[in-house]
């Protein structure tokens, strides 16, 4: 509210975890705007470029694929260096796709379920667009990966509840995200 004039329906910050983390870093280390921006760019780039390296057998192939993508879409690097918290969600999405793509067992290991819940929780608390994860379940469902869909959806519910409670105003936070999505969808797009 100190920076942007907002509609009265916006009662909770869209990305409270990210704002809270930057506030803690500012207070703890006395970081100024440049230091916070450098941290934001570096941390978010690590999420997108570095998280998948845990799952790939040949890291150089992953980095070559990223380079090929950047050659085809050079404006993508500009988007990646905006230091926005949605990049954490992108990194978590890639991690989930890598770690769940072969899951066919009756019940995944407990550690995978716990880490998936934590990933969803962090995404919800830091980025705020919790409803977008439905696209992940739709992809697994359409691929006829029924058990993986069930477990991912279950972990998502736990993560959404946990992330919403971390905001301190869970119902207002969840309702605010839906309201914002509806407003964006109904806006007139200029030609």
For residues 69-79, average pLDDT: 93
**pLDDT tens digits along 79-118:** 999 989 999 999 999 999 999 988 777 789 999 999 999 9
Across 171-188, average pLDDT: 84
At residue 1, the pLDDT reads 60
Instruction: Concatenate the DSSP letters of all residues of 96-149 into one string.
Output: HHHHHTT--SSS--HHHHHHHHHHHHHHHHHT--GGGGHHHHHHHHHTT-HHHH
pLDDT at 168: 92
Distance of CA 25 to the CA centre of its chain: 20
Using pLDDT thresholds of 50, 70 and 90, give the confidence band for residue 25: very high
For range 66-90, the mean pLDDT: 93
Q: Are 176 and 14 in contact (CB under 8 A)?
A: yes
Please tell me the distance from the alpha carbon of residue 185 to that of residue 189, in angstroms, as a whole number: 9
Q: Compute CA distances 149 → 61, 97, 104, whole Å.
A: 28, 12, 10
Q: How far apart are CA 32 and CA 26, in angstroms?
A: 7
Lookup: tokens for 100: 């769940």
Q: How far apart are CA 118 and CA 140, in angstroms?
A: 20
Q: Is 0.85 surpassed by the pTM of this model?
A: yes
């Amino acid at each position: 509210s100190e920076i942007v004039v907002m509609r009265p329906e916006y009662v909770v910050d869209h990305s409270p975890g990210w704002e809270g983390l930057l506030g803690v870093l500012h207070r703890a280390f006395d970081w100024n705007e440049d230091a916070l921006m450098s941290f934001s760019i570096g941390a978010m780039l690590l999420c997108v470029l570095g998280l998948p390296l845990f799952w790939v057998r040949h890291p150089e192939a992953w980095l070559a694929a990223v380079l090929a993508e950047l050659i085809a879409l050079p404006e993508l690097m500009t988007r990646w260096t905006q230091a926005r918290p949605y990049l954490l969600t992108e990194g978590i999405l890639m991690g989930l796709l890598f770690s769940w793509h072969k899951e066919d067992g009756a019940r995944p290991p407990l550690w995978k379920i716990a880490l998936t819940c934590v990933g969803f929780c962090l995404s919800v608390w830091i980025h705020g667009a919790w409803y977008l994860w439905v696209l992940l379940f739709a992809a697994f469902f359409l691929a006829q990966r029924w058990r993986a869909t069930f477990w991912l959806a279950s972990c998502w519910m736990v993560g959404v509840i946990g992330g919403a409670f971390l905001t301190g105003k869970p119902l207002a936070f969840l309702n605010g995200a839906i309201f914002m999505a509806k407003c964006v969808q109904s806006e007139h797009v200029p030609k």
